[in-house]
Amino acid sequence: MRFGELRDKGLITQAEFEAQKARLLGEG
């Protein structure tokens, strides 16, 4: 499941989503 889906379902907060996205972009 993608982080966007987790965020949309409310399983993670917007802040958590942004942090995960930044980490993934950094690793890429």
Give the helix/strand (H/E) hosting 13.
none
Q: In which domain, by residue range, is 16 found?
A: 1-28
> What digits encode the pLDDT tens for the residues 1-28?
787 899 999 999 999 999 999 999 998 6
Please give the C-alpha separations between residue 2 and each of 9, 15, 21, 23, in angstroms, as whole numbers: 11, 15, 10, 14
Which burial class, exposed, middle or buried, applies to 12 when counting CB atoms under 10 A from its CB (0-12, 13-18, 19+)? middle
pLDDT at 3: 78
How many domains is the chain partitioned into structurally?
A: 1
Please report the pLDDT score of residue 2 as a whole number: 85
Q: What pLDDT does 27 receive?
A: 81
pTM for the model: 0.63
SS3 12: coil
